[in-house]
Amino acid sequence: QKEVEQNSGPLSVPEGAIASLNCTYSDRGSQSFFWYRQYSGKSPELIMFIYSNGDKEDGRFTAQLNKASQYVSLLIRDSQPSDSATYLCAVNLRSNTGKLIFGQGTTLQVKP
């Protein structure tokens, strides 16, 4: 079992819809959680981070964390074709060195 798991997709949504991306992690002691967006051949771009249970909103993005269920999600409202990319969930485990463990990423396709 991978430490961080995501459905690889592709997840296809129509333009203007809400895209829901999910991620589970195995280490209950994980401290912090990050969502990165990566276009093909480019570097990961930080979108959201969340440390506490509950929701965190930033513009069209909402991150949700449930530590009891070891589950983190990213909602993208009013999806745009430019949101089409791979979304990587990354987890900072209980260590104090900051290294990130990534999921395999979910490919999102937003269709006009």
Partner 1 sequence: AAGVIQSPRHLIKEKRETATLKCYPIPRHDTVYWYQQGPGQDPQFLISFYEKMQSDKGSIPDRFSAQQFSDYHSELNMSSLELGDSALYFCASSLSGINNEQFFGPGTRLTVL
Which residues lie near partner 1 (CB under 8 A)? Answer: 31-32, 34, 36, 41-46, 49, 51, 88, 92, 95-105
Q: CB of residue 27 vs partner 1: minimum separation in angstroms?
A: 13
Scan for tokens 């093909």, then name that residue: 40
Choice between 37 and 64, CB closer to partner 1: 37
Give the nearer residue to partner 1 in terms of CB position, either 45 or 55. 45
Nearer to partner 1, 84 or 105 (CB): 105
Phi-psi region of 54 (alpha: psi -120 to 50; beta: other; left: phi over 0): left
CA distance 62 to 101: 21
**Measured at the alpha carbon of residue 79, what is the angle toward residues 45 and 3, in degrees to the nearest 5?**
50
